[in-house]
Amino acid sequence: MNSNLISFDKCLGSACKDLAVLESSLHWNYHPSSGTADVAFNKANAKDSSNWISWAINPTSKGMIGSQAFVAVHESDGTIKAYTSPITSYATVLQEGTLTFKVYSVSASYTSGHFIIFATFQLPSNTTLVNHAWQEGLVSKDGTLMPHSFSSPNLHSFGTLDFVSGKVSETSGKVDSRTTFRNVHAILNTISWGIMMPTGVIMARYLKVFDGLGPTWFHLHRACQSLAFLIGIAGFGTGLYMGNHHGVHHAPHRCVGITLMCLAFAQVCVAVCLRPKKDHKCRIFWNVFHYIVGYATIALAIWNVLKGFDILDANKIWKKIYVGIIISFAIVSVIMEVITWIWMCNKKMIKSEKQGDTSQQQP
C-alpha cells in the first residue's frame, strides 16, 4: 500500500486500493443490506489552489461519456466546493447537476497535499461491479474548470471496480478514437505545416540563385508546398472533427489553425491563378504579397505546432525533437544565406568584368 495513504474518518475499516495513474487512491465501505457505498477518493500531491479533482462511476459504459461524477474544486476564496456532475459530452465543464442514482452526501477536504472527495451513494441497479474514472485539472481565473491534460495518465484514468471483492482493474491500454484522432491530427499538422512548408520556402529562396538548376527549384518548391497543403487540409479536418464530435476546443490553437488555412488557400489561389509574368508591371506587388503571406504562414505554423505539443502535454522529447528540427532549419538558412550572398557577389563581379572586357574591345 502506498505510504502516502492516510486513514479517513469516514472510511474506517474500508477497503483501499492505489489507482494506476495520477497518484490517486480509493477507500470504500460497501453495505450489502442497503446496496450503498461510502467512498473516499484521495488525490495525493495535489495543489492547494486553482485546481479540481473528480471521481466518477459510469453505469452505461467505460470512459468519460455517461459518467456520474463527484467533483471537488478549490474556490478563489480558499474554500472547497464539492458537488455532483453528470457528464454527457466531451465538452463538459463539469456543471453541477443531479446524478442518475441517489446520492446521500458529498463533501471534500484538503490536508497536507491530499485532496479528498467523500461520498455516500446508492449503487446503480444494486450492482457491485462498476466502471469508474478519475481526473484532475486546473481552474481558470474566472472560476471555470479547464479541460484536463491530454497526457497518457489522464487518458488512461479509468477501469473497473468491484465493491465486494475489492478488485480494481487497470485500463487495457487500448487507444480510444479520440486519442487516435488526436495523434493523427498532431502527426499530419507537424509534418505539413511544421516541416514541409518551411522546407519548401528554404528550397525556393536558396536554390533559385544557382543558374545550373534552371526551373528545378520552382518545381521542387511547388511540389513540396502543394503536398504540404493537401496534408494540412487533412490535419485541419481531423481538428474540426475532434471539435465537433469529441468536444476538444482550444481557442488560440483553433483560431490560428483557421487563419493558417485561410492564408494557405489565398496563397494557392494567387500563385496559381493570378501570377503575372516576370516583366509585368504588377509583378512586384505579387512578389510582396507572396513573400509576406508565405513567411507569415511559416511563423504561425511553427507557433501553432509548438502550441499543439503543449496542449497534448505529450512526452517532452517530441517537442524537443521538433525544436531541434526548427533550429536545424535556422542553421541551414544562415549557412545558405552566406553561400548565396557570396555566389551572387561573384556572379556580379564576373558579369561586370565581362562587360568591361566587351567595352574595351569595341573601337
Q: Is 156 annotated as a binding residue?
A: no
∠ Cα 184 301 249 (to 5°)? 55
Find the mean pLDDT for residues 129-144.
Answer: 84
Annotated binding residue 27: no
Q: Which domains does the chain have, with CATH numbers?
A: 9-169 (2.60.40), 177-353 (1.20.120.1770)
Confirm or deny that 280 is annotated as ligand binding. no
Please tell me the predicted confidence (pLDDT) of residue 170. Answer: 66
pLDDT band for position 360 (cuts 50, 70, 90) = low
As a whole number, mean pLDDT of residues 48-52 equals 79
pLDDT band at 4 (very low <50, low <70, confident <90, very high): very low
185 is in an annotated binding site: yes
Name the pLDDT band for 296 (thresholds 50, 70, 90): very high
Burial of 356 (0-12, 13-18, 19+ CB in 10 A): exposed
**pLDDT per residue as tens digits for the range 74-133:** 887 778 899 999 988 776 778 889 998 999 999 999 888 889 999 999 988 778 888 898
Is the model more confident about 208 or about 237?
Answer: 237
Position 212 pLDDT exceeds 60: yes
pTM over 0.85: no
Percent of the chain with pLDDT over 90: 34
Instruction: Name residue 351's amino acid.
Output: K
- What pLDDT digit, counting tens, does each position of 315-332 carry? 578 888 999 999 999 999
Q: What is the pLDDT of residue 340?
A: 86
Instruction: Using the predicted structure, report yes or no on whether residue 71 has a pLDDT greater than 60.
Output: yes
With cut-offs at 50, 70 and 90, classify the pLDDT of residue 333.
very high
For 214-270, how does the pLDDT look when each residue is reduced to its tens digit (9 = 90+)? 788 899 999 999 999 999 999 999 888 877 765 566 778 889 999 999 999 999 999
